[in-house]
Chain A
Amino acid sequence: MTRQSILKCRVIPLLWDDVDTDQIVPARFLTTTTRQGLKNALFAEHRARARASGTTFIIDDPEHHGATALLAGRNFGCGSSREHAVWALAQHPIRVILARSFGEIFRINALKNGLLPIELDEATHATLSQETQCKASTGIHVDLEMMTVTWPPHPPVSFRFDPFYRHCLIEGRDVLDHLISKTIEIDAYEKKRLSEQNADSKELT
């Protein structure tokens, strides 16, 4: 896990509510045994439909070329647990998603992969939505240590972030390493459960 604490990105204003992971990566792209090669899976149906009608899906807009933050509405990443949705976004690359709320499994998958899911309060979300629509490619500054997001001319706006994942991301620590560091406690837990089970069996006999 790469250490992250400060990100500077330009924002793609998708703004949709309830973007499910079937939209982010359609199921036909799940037939892979690796995590790689998902760049073209990202929003594949929306992009295909845009091409067919001679328009451009927002993430393909030249104005947003090189932008690595996505601004969405409510409940981004709802639906299926497919982590491929996170991998495809990360391969675009998208590094930050700002939204009103996230599908729970998607949010956890994103955190596991260093893709930052940031929940904005209603007022901040409304302001940022309006400004990113008006102005070509707004740039934001995300500070994970201070838990603020800033974009001119506004002062820093605070966001809440899971303290455990914040620690892992800032330190560059993998969650699996954290679990492995608990091996003694896991051994002890299993031993305790086994002795409880044996005690119960003895009671029954």
Chain B
Amino acid sequence: MTPRTLVEKIWSDHVVTIENGGTDVLYIDLQLIHEVTSPQAFAFLRDRGLRVRRPERTFATVDHVIPTQGAIPARTDSPQGEMIAALQANATKAGISLWGTQHPNRGIVHVTAPEQGLVRPGMTVVCGDSHTSTLGAFGALAFGIGSSEVAHVLATQTLTARRPKTLEVRISGAFSLGVTAKDIALEVVRALGTNGAIGHAIEYTGPVVQALDMEARMTICNMAVEAGARTGVIGPDEETVRYLEERPRPGESETAPIDHAKLFATDAGARFDASATVPIHQLEPMVSYGTTPAMAAPITAEIPGAPGPAIGRTLYLNALDYMGLKPGTPLQGLPIDVVFIGSCTNARISDLRAAANILQGQKIHPGVRMLVVPGSEAVRAQAETEGLHEIFGRAGAEWRRPGCSMCIAMNGDRLQPGEYAVSTSNRNFEGRQGPGGRTFLASPLTAAASAINGHLSDPRDHL
């Protein structure tokens, strides 16, 4: 038997039919939906007189547009209200489980689905959101799709798809103090470039990866798409099983048994289409300072005069111009206005603990506005049990309700034109966090340290 990769094994386990030219019909075990990319999909089904084939394989949550403070808009209050109401109506009509505005499981889709035990090794999982790659941390094949494909999966529980090529990214070395999974994720994107992994699923390998807990693995897989990859995966192991054994299935009092037959792993000697090694023994806390995540550098660096791998010079100069930055300027000390701790990249309990560890007994800079947005109601409850919200509050930060919030700025949480933010999210495209907003991407540790000083800061000075 030819040695195969994890991706190949999951793929062949889910192929329904093989077509000429390499486009297969692929069965989808789980579809996650949210209020931004599903309305048009349900409308499409209505127009065609189609019903949802497997409501029990579909879970819905409200995350992108929901406010993190104040009242939830009603249907007629605003477009956001209409979107939330549409999801409510669509899910109810189709018999789809909805973790709606008052539900205790509600949260950012890629935070709540895994913590509620929905994502398991060997599954195919889709969602109308590119950061579905996050869920590859469980050894599942999880990828983002558009609204048309959301409709296709609702109607048939399948998609037409070509198997992606595979790129092994081997992380070598060891963690230093103050360096986190987010820093590794940023370094991978920097090293590969914005389009370095196009057409590929990244499998992250090596002892460093195997030593990470599930939340750290999710952070790394989350940002695979920023290097152009279709998704990221990490082979399941004892840590995966341990995490899942603690997750009750929604509506059930006991955990579902782990299907060990689905703990697919890449065989020794399996051939990847491409490979890269990303060494981390000298890795420092990273900051993405440009208008694409790949424009990243260590916190101790100066803004480079020339762009990194695969970034065109014109793009680079335009990015510096948009960000109001000059080559040669040290990153440390760049003044900031806002700090955002949140998003599907870094809003889990370990991320909040990391930030709280730095903010304990400290006050944020008077010129800084800081939002801490837990990734889900469950994370919020856990954080409050541990008193983290009090640490944030005493420091002068705002403790909010769960949601995507300022990552995508669709719910009123946004930057004003020209404001600089340190954000634990995954994208710093022009205007992503608000028209004219300028985003530095970083880890929760770096974000917390920067909030105290009012400028980009090395978190190791605070540890």
CB-CB nearest in chain B for A33: B39
- Confirm or deny: B195 has a beta carbon within 8 angstroms of a beta carbon on chain A: yes
B196 to chain A, nearest CB (A): 10
Which residues of chain A are within 8 angstroms of B427 by Cβ–Cβ distance?
Answer: 20, 22, 79-80
Are A176 and B48 in contact, with the CB atoms below 8 A? yes
Question: Per-position contact with A for B286-327: 1 when CB-CB < 8 Å, else 0?
Answer: 000000100000000000000000011011000000000000
- Contact call A103/B228, Cβ cutoff below 8 A: yes
Provide the residues of chain A in CB contact with B17, threshold 8 Å: 182, 185
Segment touching B, from A105-113, A122-130, A141-149: A105-113
Instruction: Judge whether A135 is part of the interface by a CB distance below 8 angstroms.
Output: no
Contacts A34-B40, A86-B146; A176 near B151 (Cβ below 8 A): yes
Q: What string of 1s and 0s marks CB contacts (under 8 Å) between A54-86 and chain B?
A: 000000000000000000011100111111001
Q: Which residues of A contact B116 (CB under 8 A)?
A: none
Q: Which residues of A contact B43 (CB under 8 A)?
A: 33-34
A105 touches B145 (CB 8 A): yes
Shortest CB–CB separation between residue A137 and chain B, in angstroms?
23
By the criterion CB–CB under 8 Å, are B36 and A113 in contact? no
Tell me how far the C-beta of B285 lies from the nearest C-beta in chain A, rounded to whole angstroms: 24
Tell which of A3-11, A24-32, A89-97 binds the partner: A24-32
Q: Are B261 and A83 in contact (CB under 8 A)?
A: no
In the complex, the answer to whether A81 meets B146 with C-beta atoms within 8 Å is yes
Cβ of B77 under 8 Å from chain A = no
Q: Which residues of A contact B257 (CB under 8 A)?
A: 204
Chain A residues with CB under 8 Å of B233's CB are none
> Is A175 interfacial (CB-CB < 8 Å)?
yes
| A180 at the B interface (CB under 8 A) | yes
Q: Is A152 on the interface with B (CB-CB < 8 A)?
A: no
Cβ contacts A177-188/B at 8 Å (1 or 0 each): 011101101100
User: What sequence of 0s and 1s flags, for each residue 1-31 of chain B, a beta carbon within 8 Å of any chain A beta carbon?
Assistant: 0000000000000001101111101010000
Q: Quick one: closest B residue to A16, CB to CB?
A: B315
Is A78 a contact of B195 with CB atoms below 8 Å? yes
A18–B226 alpha-carbon span in the complex (Å): 11
Inter-chain contact B195/A109, CB cutoff 8 Å: no
Check B238 for interface membership: any CB of A closer than 8 A.
Answer: no
Chain A, 185-199, contact with B by CB distance < 8 Å: what is the 0/1 string?
Answer: 110011001000000
State whether A26 touches B157 (Cβ < 8 A).
no
**Chain B 118-159 interface residues, beta-carbon cutoff 8 Å to A:** 128-130, 144-149, 151-152, 155-159
A162 lies within 8 A of B27 (CB): no
Cα separation A4 to B39 with both chains bound (whole Å)? 28
CB-nearest residue of chain B relative to A113? B148
Q: Is A81 in contact with B152, judged by CB distance below 8 angstroms?
A: no
The residues of B that contact A200 with a CB separation of less than 8 Å are: 259, 261
- 8 tightest A-B CB contacts, nearest first: A163-B21, A83-B146, A31-B79, A164-B23, A33-B39, A109-B146, A75-B195, A112-B148
| 5 new A-B contacts at CB < 8 Å, known A17-B314, A79-B130, A163-B23 | A17-B315, A22-B431, A81-B37, A81-B129, A185-B16
